[in-house]
Amino acid sequence: MTALRSLQTIHLSQVLLMFILGVMTGLIYMTLTPIWWLVFLGIAIMIAVFTNNQTGVLIILATLFIFHWLFGVFKIIPKEITWLPDVIILVMASKFLYLRANKRQWQSTPIDYVILAIIVLGLLSAIYNSVSLVTIMFGFRKFFKFTLMFLILRNIEHDAKFYRFFLISLFVLALLQIPVTIVQAIIFGTVGRDVADKVSGTLGWKATGAMALFMCFVMSMMMGFYTQTKKYIYLLLCVAFIIPIILGSGQFGFFIAPIAVVICWLLGNRISLISLARLPLFIIIMAMFIIPGINYHDSRYQGNLSKFITSPSEVYSLNIQTRKEGTFGRFEVIDVAHQLLFENLPQLLIGFGPGNASESYFSDYSGQLEKKYPGLKIWGVQYTATILEYGFLGLLLFLFMFYRLWRANRNFFHQTEDPFWRAISVGYNGVLFTYLAGCLYNPAWYYDILAFTFWFISAALVVQANKAMDETSQAKRISDKIKSRTLTKKLPGRN
């Protein structure tokens, strides 16, 4: 009911009015050219987003969970529709600037100065490497898109119901992936890697890696709710969310999921002999689901996932070889990146500049390293891409940003008494681990679904932490006043 009430706070009359206005005006101009219909509809959407934050987040969710799918799998919408999150974030940024012009104060976050340091480092690297302005803009856009959303939400949206509603919406959308992947697995068959790439839920074509990490996010949250409520339904949901990982062949998810869940278990429970005694039992129960899942995966997709455990050296040799289609394994990407860096010592520290190791939809604006090694996909491992563009100093700042968020979250966990937010706080530990571990094997930072989920949860926790801090400070001031008055009454000569 709370989630439904929060939905009612969206001014639907405003949204519908603007939408109808855009459609009607578009229909008038449609006889001239269809582009006008999109233009006026876009204007209506932008007005709706400017007047209501919930509308913007709803459109981003629709883009990530529906539009990418419609474009990537069915090709029934243009690619440009999937750029809606960029447009929405820009509109929200303009709203923030409008509020700043009206003397609204900046609401700080734990990572403001870290972000500023990364930007300054990126600009220095770009100047040193003579990176074009357009490449710099594309590089910053790719790296900071949803980080900007985080900063904006921190400043323009402080309603707990808003965040609670959309967090619940994310859980519901995650549940939706289970029946969708089951249907996809039945339709597309049971043999070969090409089949696995099609079983990606509603996240789009070849999004199995992103889907696996997203499921690990949600599993961490479910474990957070279990530690705070002790309801077994959340444990069952943890098991259920393994299904899309198995069917979509999200191989890295098999290893990340159990560790993320155990981290949440440890940090969400008070450390005691009883909880430590239960941990081995919990790990055994998880293994009872994970190991059969790996065996089923290998038999279904003719895979070698079990060799990651039994023969890691063989897996390394397979990944280091050039593939037939002209792309390279992930380990070779790392080797080439390290050779480039150690051959150029200044770049070892500050990198080759923002966007220089990234591909672009507009091929002319892809980075120089991407153009030089077109089959390598040098951005395909996140840590490699970060080191190449920002150097080891940038990587340290990148990791320090996560540390700052983790520390702020731990402080919030000890401050709040709300079971919902305590559960989210516990789950966030697993989300952080998943994101960091995912960067070892995927360009996790660049996956829109992961970036949106991570930064939205981060914004929710930072906003709630600030509220808890304010409430604690206010309570302390009231307590100090009461003590002062009591002491004054006890002084000699006072009645």
Q: In the chain, where are the structural domains located? A: 1-105, 112-474
pLDDT in tens, 28-46: 544 555 555 566 667 777 7
Q: Looking at residue 474, what is its pLDDT?
A: 61
Q: Looking at residue 199, what is its pLDDT?
A: 84
pTM of the predicted structure, to 2 decimals:
0.84
Q: Is the pLDDT of residue 401 over 70?
A: yes
Q: Looking at residue 301, what is its pLDDT?
A: 67
Name which residue leads in pLDDT, 441 or 170: 170
**Local confidence band at 450 (pLDDT 50, 70, 90 cut-offs):** very high
Query: What sign does the dihedral 368-369-375-378 (CA atoms) show?
Result: negative
Q: What are phi and psi of 418, to 5 degrees?
A: -70, 120
Q: Is the pLDDT of residue 276 over 80?
A: no
Q: Is the pLDDT of residue 445 over 60?
A: yes
**Local confidence band at 70 (pLDDT 50, 70, 90 cut-offs):** confident
pLDDT in tens, 216-246: 999 999 999 999 998 989 988 988 998 898 8
**Local confidence band at 467 (pLDDT 50, 70, 90 cut-offs):** confident
**Local confidence band at 398 (pLDDT 50, 70, 90 cut-offs):** very high
Q: Is the pLDDT of residue 322 over 60?
A: no
pLDDT in tens, 337-386: 778 888 878 888 999 999 888 887 776 777 788 777 776 677 778 888 89
How many other CB atoms are found less than 10 A from the CB of residue 494?
8
- Mean pLDDT for the stretch of residues 194-209: 77
Contact 367, 117 (CB under 8 A): no
Q: Looking at residue 440, what is its pLDDT?
A: 85
The rounded percent of the chain whose pLDDT value lies above 90 is 30
Q: Looking at residue 9, what is its pLDDT?
A: 43
Q: Is the pLDDT of residue 260 over 90?
A: yes
**C-alpha distances in angstroms, 99 versus 15, 52, 92, 94, 409?**
21, 13, 11, 9, 27
The rounded percent of the chain whose pLDDT value lies above 70 is 74
Q: Is the pLDDT of residue 324 over 50?
A: no
**Local confidence band at 411 (pLDDT 50, 70, 90 cut-offs):** very high
CA atoms within 13 A on the CB side of 236: 3
Q: Looking at residue 109, what is its pLDDT?
A: 92
Q: Looking at residue 379, what is its pLDDT?
A: 72
Lowest mean pLDDT among 83-97, 290-304, 338-352: 290-304
Name which residue leads in pLDDT, 25 or 88: 88
